Structure 1
Amino acid sequence: MLANICSCYLQFLPRFQPENLEHNKTIFERVNEIAAKKGCTPSQLALAWVHHQGKDVCPIPGTTKIENFNQNIGALSMKLTSEEMVELESIAAEDVVKGDRYTNETPTWKDSETPPLSSWKAT
């Protein structure tokens, strides 16, 4: 049932419209190829990429299944070369993916009033 709800919802998102979907599938396929070459899942590759963004960045994946949790933990031991990071950055660049992530009616972080990080004070 959940799969039907998800696929039904996705059909309305700009990235999954026919004019964008074929192009975006090539990005998905490329990430799968890199993951296979590294001997990991695409999810592990994505988590490893986030983990490699710097010491002030930490991926926070959510799951309700222990096998997915264990798979997520496996991403922490993955090492990505600078060349792999550059390749992943180029694949996922905002101007490469076609179609917005959400419809104009979906509220996102862009609609928030979060103060800039420079104004935050540690307590």
Structure 2
Amino acid sequence: MKEKVRWAFIIEKDEFVRLSLKKILNKYGFKVEEIDNILQLEKRKKDIKEGVIVADLEIGEIEQQLPLLKKWNERLILMSPSITDEVVQRLKELGIEKLIKKPVEPNILKKIIKEISFPGFEIKG
């Protein structure tokens, strides 16, 4: 039986961070695709259902794309270099639950990913 591909989508402007995340997510068993913005995911609904989105988005982008983000909230991990209590509270009010501080610690990312349901898929690494 052919093994299912589990996708990880990265939205990140910094090339070094993108490369680091790609390496980490590949190690965990994901096929990784870098994308420029959240709107590109509209055509990938099926892949998102069984994948994960790791994104660094500004609060303005989050508010602008909120309906889309809420739809995929279970699979969305938001990254930010400055996580304050105020930011966490604001994001929770918007319905964003999974938040990770940059620079991303691989073990923390793995822990958050393990909280997401991936039937029949074991996180490697």
If asked which structure has higher relative contact order (CA below 8 Å, sep 6+), I would say: 1
| Higher strand proportion | 2
**TM-score normalized by the length of structure 1:** 0.29
TM-score (norm 2): 0.29
Greater helix share, 1 or 2?
Answer: 1
Largest Rg, 1 or 2: 1
